Structure 1
Amino acid sequence: MTTTRPAAARTPYAVDPQIVGLIGEQADRIRAVSGDRIGDMVQEALLRTLTDTITVGADGSAFVITGDIPAMWMRDSTTQLTPYLRLLGRSEPLADLVASVVRRQFTCLGHDTYANAFNDGPTDGHHEPRDLCKDPHVWEQKYEIDSLAYPIVLAHALWRATGRTDVFDEGSHDVLRRVVAQLRLEQRHENSSYRFVRPSPLPTESLVRDGLGSPVGFTGMTWSGFRPSDDACTFHYNVPGNLLAAQALRALAEISAEVHADQALADTALSLSAELVAGVAEHGIVEGPDGARIYAYEVDGLGGQLLMDDANTPSLLALPLFAPDVLDPAVYEATRRFVLSPANPFFFSGPVAEGVGSPHTLPEYIWPIGLAVQALTGPAEDRPRLLELIAATDGGTGRIHESFHTADPTLFSRPWFSWADSMFCELALQVADDADAA
């Protein structure tokens, strides 16, 4: 990893006192239900995301790092802000911040719709300097469907929570057109000019066929080079990514029709969304180990299918959170049983915990993000237990990590992973909401 040019002058985000007060109020709600330690952890994490991951330029633009990596991911910068969305209608300064992040995301996508992570300007920082992509603005150009979908989801959430449309300028309109065009182009990937080549002994770090990826057949789904974990796909139709894209295209259609007054784009987006859902139904639903019909994680349209799930979202387990309007409930329930069982090769169980991990990390390492998703998509009565489990497996650091060992939580990956912090906070807030509703 290198950075050879300085970033533009920026300052840490100065949290408005009103936001501090709202965070304290939410933390008190959590303390009343889940105890002081969890309430304190949530309060610190919500403040830390704002003060330590977000910087602001002289022009007011926001830049969001993932934690211990100095780059901005389209996925992470959306999920890091998820716990704050419920407060947007109560805080104009918070809405202003989310709007600044959305504008930055649209700017990034306007620069390169195939990149997954960006630098704070043309710093020439790269995860791997030998990558085929040499763009000084781009940290990494691993094409992942969710990199296009998540910013649309965030922009839509901001709009629906506040009614504000100032983020939807002509630049964003052009980005939405490009997103639809690219998702459609990648339905037939052989026609694409995208390539990813990285010198690495790890097969998950590059694409075969000189960067084109392994062969696929036409399915109606859209192609992805990499998973949300940033690992290369085995089979390049990632099912949870396609369903997230289908959901995001519905949001895009609403924005196009109601804000940009572009009914043609809205109709095209809805048509493409339906094509993705139909493609998943025809090719992405397969027979599971117990004979039930479940979602595959990846397929290639040529007979190849991968039965697994990965804790990184969008995941199969997380579909009710990210694709609620386009999933098949019966297929999801059968898939959920598969994901949370030993039949999933990345479901790990040990003396301390059991849950979903990832091929991106070591065997027997569980992801707190996966535990949070399991809780948020499962019965309310199980959420307090999983919240306490995540808090208890922080390795004594007070922070939520990328993953931890099933037998020893002091063995963990990534000392500071802001996305995991935010998913922990989202779960804690949901537990408090459940208590209020009881």
Structure 2
Amino acid sequence: MKDVLNAYVEQVARTFEDPRVASMVSDALERTLADTLTRDGDEYFVITGDIPAMWLRDSTTQLWPYLRMLGESPELSDIVAGVLRRQFRQIEHDPYANSFNPGPTGAHYEPDDLNDDPWVWEQKYEIDSLAFPLLLAHRWWKATGRTDVFNDRAHQVFRTIVAQFRLEQRHEELSPYRFVRPDAIPTETLVREGLGTPLGFTGMTWSGFRPSDDACTYGYNVPGNLLAAQGLRYLAEIATSCFADAALAQDALALSGELVAGVNEFGLVKHPTHGQIYAYEVDGLGGELLMDDANMPSLLSLPLLSPDVYDPEVYARTRAFVLGPDNPWWFSGTAASGVGSPHTRERRIWPIALSVEGLTSGSPERQRELVALQVATDAGTGRIHEAFDMDDPAQFSRPWFSWADSMFCELALEVAHPRS
């Protein structure tokens, strides 16, 4: 494994004149493997960095740069398999939870939350928590040809994911889920005693929280639904090839189509400057939120995460909206310009969004610029942070954010080792 990592880092070093790029990539790749992963039998528990819990989303994206290496390293393949086994076990335990403890420790982000399961760090229901492991499973399977993680537990978890997405199409009438955080700011709890804001039926599936872990303003998150639609297509392929379960595959494909149809009917809006674009969130009752968030899935990330279900023409117009001042969470300062998030204060740019901008740009030159920008805004730490001030990168949040590290690595590796 070490030889494989070194070979990729050496190619990065040959590609970029600034030696700091290869150094930061090398350190981040080694840090993720050495400091975020804990082996537990045939599973791996993955912390996010400076928070000692495992997010289903983060534990997928933290592995993103290694996926291109799986065919060359059986050890890396085993690690991803171990993470998948852990993810499946966590979804089996609680498909509404977004993050988990390494055991029944009783640790919680907020001890006064409605949910007090000792295995659960936080039970914020987010569509991406169920969808990202599907992307990881599909990428691992295609890269390695292995099927050993697709056991009876995984089979049942796939059924659970389809069933839950279907149930949450009718959240108002059917959902058992409630999230209440007493005395919290609005983005940290759900209104109406934990049910969330009112909804009309759209065919999309509901999410209580965004991938930022902030509460949705409106319950139908458009990039989340398109990620789920893509994940369901992958699920159907695995169900057919690995489980010979035609009924599950058919159900998953049908649901994927319903989500996309819901987005196309309710999630497209006419912007006065950009024309028809994707909304970030809608409620099926006329409520529309025009913005993008730095966290994935984002509107900006659609070609990267949802390649088979998004509309390229609508995306092109949406991208122009996202990467400019019409997006209320786009900031431009003396140090950098980029997308931020309501999760952090205004003026804060997120390196994750800079990496996503590069990975979806189709421009090697722009990718190089965005790698250099992240190196220049690390505040001399050699690490990629959650967010930094657009004028003063020394003002940053989260000294160790493994997801941001990995997305930076993925962008640098894409310049040095293009996938296509």
TM-score interval (norm. to shorter): over 0.9
User: Once the 2 structures are TM-superposed, how far is the Cα of residue 201 of structure 1 from its aligned partner?
Assistant: 3.5
Structure 1: gaps spanning 5 or more residues: 1-18
Counterpart residue number, 1:81: 63
Equivalent AA in structure 1 for residue 122 of structure 2: E
What SS is found at the alignment partner of 1:86? helix
How far apart, in 2, do the equivalents of 1:216 and 1:303 lie? Answer: 10
Does 2:140 align with 1:161?
no
Asked whether the equivalents of residues 132 and 231 of structure 2 are also in contact (C-alpha less than 8 Å), the reply is yes
**2:39 aligned counterpart, secondary structure:** strand
CA distance in 1 between partners of 2:303 and 2:106 (Å): 38
The match for 1:395 among 371, 379, 388 is 379
Kept in 2, the 8 Å contact 1:289–1:343? The answer is no
Distance (whole Å) between structure 2 residues aligned to residue 201 and residue 231 of structure 1: 12
Shift of 1:291: 5.0
1:309 counterpart = 2:292: yes
- Structure 2 CA distance for aligned equivalents of residues 413 and 238 of structure 1: 25
Pairwise CA distance, 1:36: 1.5
SS where residue 121 of structure 2 aligns?
strand
Match of 1:56, SS? strand
Residue matched to 2:171: 189
- For residues 44 and 183 of structure 2, the distance between their equivalents in structure 1, rounded to whole angstroms, comes to 33
Please give the per-residue CA displacement for 1:236-294, whole angstroms capped at 9, x wherever unaligned: 00000000000000000001111011000000000000000000000001112315000
Q: Say whether 1:428 aligns with 2:399.
A: no
Of residues 71, 75, 79, the one that matches 1:93 is 75
Q: Choose from 130, 134, 158 the match for 1:176.
A: 158
Q: 1: CA distance between counterparts of 2:177 and 2:403?
A: 28
Q: What TM-score results when the alignment is normalised by the length of structure 2?
A: 0.98
Runs of 4+ in structure 1 displaced over 6 angstroms? none
**Correspondence 1:142 to 2:128:** no
Shift of 1:299: 0.1
For these two proteins, the number of residue pairs brought into alignment is 417
Structure 1 residue 21, shift from structure 2 partner: 1.4
Q: Partner residue of 2:228?
A: 245
In structure 1, what is the equivalent of residue 32 of structure 2? 49
Counterparts of 1:164 and 1:291, CA distance in 2: 45
CA distance in 2, matches of 1:203, 1:276: 27
Q: Which amino acid aligns with 1:184?
A: R
Counterpart residue number, 1:263: 246
Aligned equivalent of 2:266:
283
What residue in structure 1 maps to residue 359 of structure 2? 376
Tell me, yes or no, if the aligned pair for 1:311 and 1:357 is still in contact at 8 Å. Answer: yes
Q: Is the 8 A contact 1:20 1:47 kept in 2?
A: no
| Counterpart residue identity of residue 314, structure 2 | V
Aligned to 1:200: 183
Q: Residue deviations 1:28-54, cap 9 Å, x none?
A: 111111131100110010000000000
Name the counterpart of 2:198: 215
SS in 2 for 1:259: helix
**For 1:63, what is the secondary structure of its paired residue?**
strand
Residue number in structure 2 paired with 1:330 = 313
Quick check: 2:351–2:384 contact (8 Å CA) kept in 1? yes
**AA paired with 1:126?**
H
Which of residues 20, 27, 30 in structure 1 aligns to 2:9? 27
Q: Which residue of 2 aligns with 1:15?
A: none
| Structure 2 residue matching 1:44: 3-state secondary structure | helix
Assess if the C-alpha contact under 8 Å between 2:274 and 2:321 holds in 1: no
* 2:98 is the alignment partner of 1:116: yes
What runs of 5+ residues in structure 2 fail to find an aligned partner?
Answer: none
Alignment partners' CA distance in 2, 1:85 and 1:291: 36
Separation in 2 of the partners of 1:343 and 1:24?
42
Decide which moves more: 242-251 or 20-29: 20-29
Identity %: 64
In 2, Cα distance between equivalents of 1:327 and 1:227: 19
* Displacement of 1:381: 2.0
1:170 to partner: Cα distance: 0.4
394, 398, 404: which is aligned to 2:388?
404
Contact 1:102-1:155 within 8 A present in 2 as well: yes
Q: Is residue 347 of structure 2 the alignment partner of residue 364 of structure 1?
A: yes
Partner of 1:6: none
